[in-house]
Amino acid sequence: MTPAEISVIIPALNEAANIERCVLSATAAGEVIVVDGGSDDATTQIAEAAGAKVLTSQAGRAAQQNAGAKVAAGRTLLFLHADNHLAPAAIQQVCDAMSKYPERWGGALGQRIEAAGFGFRLLEYGNAWRVRWRGLPFGDQAIFVRRDRFNEVGGFPDEPIMEDLILSQRLRRIARPLLLSGPVYVDPRRWQHKGVLRQTFRNFGLQIAFALGVSPQRLRSYYANHADSN
């Protein structure tokens, strides 16, 4: 597999401050597609100027990523959050891994959260452990997947939250994911806003509730209602 066979898909909403760096980090791929969910800032203009193909879709990360996958030309799809960016070697790592392990559907990249502190390093370790031992990469780990396998499981489910977890659960039935060194650099703002422990326990609580059968719709409602609470 060559870099030209990889399509990087970036869902975005009001990410003018981050989108240029994100797009430029992925230009080694065959194409970079930014799917905008209705930004009212300069996200789309900046993305186009950086060399991305830009389209619009219904807002929502699942819908936006599926819209990008539908028009992508690559044999492998890499989904990258707009506030993240790739290390220079990441695209070639994906190419090499997909060529070496044709039986695998894909995987994710190791993270580097862009903040100092032991708590952030512990988060990186825990997230890598989740991929290695549970086989469940999340969206901020730059999930990459063969197009045919992505289509086989129906793409991202039409859910307002947990769409990445559900996709990973479906793909795990096919094979275990790879975890490459990457890294993908991750914006720390959500942890800095709430605090590392508080945000981590909140995320873990959502996962437990989902595992116990609480619907993504109810989880999304709870998350939205408590996003700015103290």
pLDDT per residue rounded down to tens, the chain (230 residues): 999 999 999 999 999 999 999 999 999 999 999 999 999 999 999 999 999 999 999 999 999 999 999 999 999 999 999 999 999 999 999 999 999 999 999 999 999 999 999 999 999 999 999 999 999 999 999 999 999 999 999 999 999 889 999 999 999 999 999 999 999 999 998 888 777 777 777 877 888 888 888 888 888 877 766 554 43
Each residue's pLDDT tens digit, 176-204: 999 999 999 999 988 887 777 777 778 77
Domain count, the chain: 1
Q: What are phi and psi of 157, to 5 degrees?
A: -70, 150
pLDDT at 190: 81
pLDDT at 225: 64
209 within domain boundaries: no
Q: Which of 98, 58, 93, 73 is nearest to 9 (CA)?
A: 73
Domain around 18: 3-190
204 within domain boundaries: no
pLDDT at 230: 38
pLDDT at 52: 99
Beta-carbon-side half-sphere exposure of residue 172 (alpha carbons within 13 Å): 16
Query: For position 181, which CATH number holds?
Result: 3.90.550.10
pLDDT at 174: 97
* This prediction's pTM: 0.93
